[in-house]
Structure 1
C-alpha cells in the first residue's frame, strides 16, 4: 500500500497540494459500494448531476455470447472527477459572494453561508477522480488482462490537459496493482490540445454552441428557483445564471470533499435536479452531439483511428488526426491487444454521435424535456465514463465487434446486430461511412 501511495502522489502532482484525503484512503470506501459511490448523497440525486455525476455502471457487464471471446479491446475514457473549470469556478464564487453580501436570510438552509469559504481549486483532478481512474485500471486488468503480455502491453494515450494525463497515469497504476505489479503499462503518448488531437474537440473553428437552447431552458426552469433564492436572501439580486452555478456546487463540492455538500440541501429543497440534468442534456446534444451541425464531425478522427486498430490497417483520415504520429508504429502501433485513451466529455459525445450511438427520434426540445429520451448525460458522460469496443473472435473464425458504454451493451442496430449487440467486423466498418468519408464534407465547413 505504501508503494501505491507513493506512485499516485508522484504521478498526480496536479492535486498534491490539496488538503483533501488521499486517493488511496478514499479507494477503500469506494470499493465498499462500488455500484453507487458513497458520497452521502442518494443515487437518485447523483443521477441528476449529469456530466458531474460520478461513474457507476449503467448496466451489469455481460460477457460476450457463447462461442465468442474478446481478442482486442479499445477503452476510451473520460477523465475522473475534477474541480470546477476556471470559468465555472469564477461564476460560482461570484454567485456565492452575492448571497454572502446580504444582511439576513429568511431560509435557514442558507445559514451555512455565514461562515462558508470557497476552497475548491480549478481544472485538475480531485482525489476521488484519481481513485476512479485507478479503479478503472484495476477493472481493465481483471476483465481483459489475458490480452496483455510483456511484449504486448496496453498502448495508452491522453489528451494534454492535466486531468486527462493524471487519469491515464492513475489508470496504469491501478492496472499494474491488480496484476500484482507483474504488468506495468505506461502513458505512451500525450496529444497536444493546441495541435491535431482526436481526444479533444478544439479544432472545428466554425462549430456552434448550445447557448441558444441552454438559455431557453434555463429561463424556464431556473426562474422560480432564482425568485425563491432572492426572497430567501433579500438584496442578493441573483440571476438565473447564478442559480445554475449554485446548483452545480452540489455535485462539484461533493466530489471534492467526498461528503454531501451543504449546497445539496438547497439543491433538493428547490428540486433543482431535473432541470439541471436536462440543461446538461441540451448542452451536450446541441454542443457536440446530433443537434449541432458540426458536432459529430469532431468525433470522426477517433473513429477512423478505431477502425484502423480493429482492422490492423493504416489510418485513413483527413480530419483531426496527426498524420505523422498516426503513421508511425512507435506512436500509433497496430496489433496490440489493448488500447486506452483518455479524453473529455464533449469529445466523447462527438464520438458517440459520429458512430451513431444514442440516436434520438426527435431533436431535444429546449422548452420541454422528453421523459423517454435516450440522450441523458449522466448515462453517457459521467466523470470517468468509458466507451469500450471489444473485437471478438467467434466460432468459425468470424471477427465481430461489440460496443459498451459504461458497461451497457449498445444495440448497434446500424450494423445488423441483434439482441446481443454483436455485429461482424466487416459490417461495423461498413456502417461507419460518415467517418470513412471524413464527415461527408462537414470537416471542410469547420474552416470555410
Structure 2
C-alpha cells in the first residue's frame, strides 16, 4: 500500500479522500512582450516586468478600470495587459551644431551682448523649481527620525482594479470562478463559439459525455493549516499594523476545510440548469414535446420504450458527490414547476435520486482504482521523483514574490525582519482567493499588483503541469482510465475483467446497472487534476509546452485557470449530420472528403456521425489526434475519433509509468 507524500503548502485536489485549478492560444501576448517581427515564444523574467510596472505606477492621471470586481471580461487575458513592456524606442534626434560662431582671429569690433535663447530660459523656468522640490524632499527625508509605517515602496498599482483592466478573478489558477470567455483555441473559427448550444449546420445532437469538476470549496487540509499559521503571525503583532491595515483588528481566519461552500452549490446548480437549456432539451426532445423542464416521460428509447433512470457518477469525497447532486437538481428541474408534468412524473420527482437519476460513487482512497481520481490508480503519482510540480512552484514563489515580501512586511512593524516569508505572502494570496469563494470578497485581495497575480496563476500552472500533465510521466496515465471508459461507452461495450486496463475498476464497469452504454447523457463529477490528465492522455499538441520555474512563459496554452477553474466542464458531443456536409481534412498535404459513416447497430445514428469536444464551452482543435482531420469547426468523424483514442491509449505505458520505473528515469 503506497503512502502519499506530504505536499506542504501546495493546495492540490488530490490531498486525501474525505479527510484530507485549453487556454486558447492568445492572439496577443498578454504581457505585451511579443516582438514586432512575430518571433517565437518569448519568456518574461521577473526583473524586466517589474521595472516596467514600476515605471507605470509613477504615471499621473491614469484612468483606473471601472469594471466590476465580479465581472468576467472576455478580453482580460487576451489583450487586457496593455502596458508598454517592450516600449517604443525613442528616436534619437541628430544633434544640431551651432553655425553662428563668431569670426575667428582678433575682432576689432566690440561684440554685442549675447542674449540667451528662449529655449534656455524656458528650460530654466521648468528645471529650477523641480530641483528645488527634489532638494526639499531629500532634506525632509534626511531630517525624518524614522520611516513611517504607512510608507509603501514605489510599485505597480495594487488593488481590486488595475489601469490595464486586468481581472484578478480570471487569473487564480484552478481556484478561479468558472468562466468561458476569451480567445478561441488555435485553428477554430470564432463563429463556432457564439453560443454553448451552437451546432454545425445540418447537424443534430445525439449524445454528450461530460467530465465535470466540482465548484468552489474550502481549502484542502494542508493548505488550510498553512494559511492558519500565517494568519496567526498577523494576529499576534506586538505593535499595531499600518493605518491601511486597520481592518486587521476585526479580521479573523474562519475558513473551513475540504467541503463545498454555498457559492459552489450555486455554481453546480446553475451548470446543470444551463446544460439542460443548451443540450438537454435537444437530447431528450423536450422542444418537440412542448416541455420546458425535464420530465421522466422524455427518457425513452427511439422505439418509445422507457429507459432506466440516468446514471450519474461521482466519487466518495463530499464535495464531489454534493456537486453531482446540485448539478442534477439544476438539470432535471427538481425544484421547478411545469404544469404539463403528469401525476406520475410528479410522483417520481418526490424521490429523484431513485426515480430520476442514480448516483454511482467511486471510492476515493488508497488501494482503490478510480478513474475519477486517477492518481489513486497510479501509485507512482505519489513519488516525488516523478512528480515535481510542487518543487517548481516553490522555486517560482521565491522569484515572483520577492518584492511583495519587502513591501508587505513594511505594513507590519510588529514583525521581526524576515518573519514574513514568500510562503506567507503566497498564503495571503490564497486567503484572498478562498475568502472570495466562501464570502464573496476579501480585504487581502487589494494588497497585490497585477504582476503578482500573474505570478500566482503561473505557480498553479507549474504545479499541474508537473503533477498531472506533460511535466510528469504519470500525467497521461492518470487520465487514461477515463479515456478508456469513454471509448467503451462510445462503442456501447462494457469493460469486464478480461478487458481491464489503465486503472479501470471493472467491478464498476462490467454491469449495465452502474455502467450503462446506451444513455444519451453521461455526467462524471471529478477533480481539476483529472480534467488536466485526461487532456494530457488525449495527446493534444497545444498543451505540450515546457514551463520554466524562473520566469513566466508567455504566451502559452497551458493556463489552468482556463483549463480547469471551479466548475470546469469537458463536453464530448456526438453529432449526427446530413450527408451533404463535408469536412475538409488536411492529410498528407491534400484535401479529401470524409466518407459517409453509419452505425449498423443503431438506426438513430444512420446519418454521418462526428465528434466535437468542448472545454469550458470552447471548441478544442482535434487535428493533432492520430486520425482526426484539422478543420475550423473542430469536427472529427466518429470512427476516426475512436481510432485516435485507442492509439493515444496504446502510446501510454500505464504499467511502467505507474508501477515501474518510467522511461528516462
User: TM-score range with shorter-chain normalisation?
Assistant: 0.7 to 0.9
Give the corresponding residue for 1:129: 264
- CA-based RMSD of the aligned residues comes to 2.4
Once the two structures are TM-superposed, the CA of residue 35 in structure 1 deviates from its matched residue by 6.0
Give the corresponding residue for 2:24: none
Once the two structures are TM-superposed, the CA of residue 41 in structure 1 deviates from its matched residue by 6.1
Aligned pair partner of 2:376 in 202, 205, 208: 202
Give the corresponding residue for 2:635: 422
Matches within 5 A, 1:300-319: 300-315=480-495, 316-319=499-502
After superposition, what is the alpha-carbon deviation per residue over 1:304-345, rounded to whole angstroms, capped at 9, x for unaligned? Answer: 111111121233541221112101111100010000010011
Once the two structures are TM-superposed, the CA of residue 57 in structure 1 deviates from its matched residue by 1.8
Give the corresponding residue for 1:29: none
Separation of aligned partners in 2, 1:34 and 1:111: 28
Matches within 5 A, 1:63-82: 63-82=198-217
After superposition, what is the alpha-carbon deviation per residue over 1:154-200, rounded to whole angstroms, capped at 9, x for unaligned? Answer: 32100111000000000111112277476754342010012111001
Give the corresponding residue for 1:256: 438
Matches within 5 A, 1:46-445: 46-58=169-181, 60-61=195-196, 63-104=198-239, 107-145=242-280, 146-148=282-284, 149-150=298-299, 151-152=306-307, 153-177=309-333, 180=337, 184=352, 185-194=356-365, 195-200=368-373, 201-207=375-381, 208-234=387-413, 235=415, 237-258=419-440, 260-268=441-449, 271-315=451-495, 316-357=499-540, 359-360=542-543, 362-396=545-579, 397-413=607-623, 414=625, 415-433=628-646, 435-437=648-650, 440-445=652-657
Once the two structures are TM-superposed, the CA of residue 290 in structure 1 deviates from its matched residue by 1.1
Separation of aligned partners in 2, 1:395 and 1:122: 51
Once the two structures are TM-superposed, the CA of residue 104 in structure 1 deviates from its matched residue by 3.1
Scaled by the length of structure 1, the TM-score of the pair is: 0.86
- Look up the SS of the partner of 1:188 in the other structure: strand
Worse-matched range after superposition: 389-398 or 140-149: 140-149
Q: Structure 1 361/193 Cα, relative in aligned 2: closer, same or farther at 3 Å?
A: closer
Contact 2:468-2:532 at 8 Å conserved across structures: yes
Once the two structures are TM-superposed, the CA of residue 283 in structure 1 deviates from its matched residue by 0.8
* More helix, by proportion: 1
Contact 1:158-1:342 at 8 Å conserved across structures: yes
* Structure (1 or 2) with the larger CA radius of gyration: 2
Separation of aligned partners in 2, 1:105 and 1:211: 35
Scaled by the length of structure 2, the TM-score of the pair is: 0.59
Contact 2:197-2:279 at 8 Å conserved across structures: no
Once the two structures are TM-superposed, the CA of residue 55 in structure 1 deviates from its matched residue by 0.6
Aligned residues: 412
Contact 1:392-1:402 at 8 Å conserved across structures: yes
Contact 1:301-1:317 at 8 Å conserved across structures: no
RCO greater where, 1 or 2, for CA within 8 Å and sep 6 or more? 1
Separation of aligned partners in 1, 2:577 and 2:270: 29
Separation of aligned partners in 2, 1:416 and 1:280: 32
Separation of aligned partners in 2, 1:34 and 1:64: 27
Give the corresponding residue for 1:7: none
Separation of aligned partners in 1, 2:545 and 2:208: 33
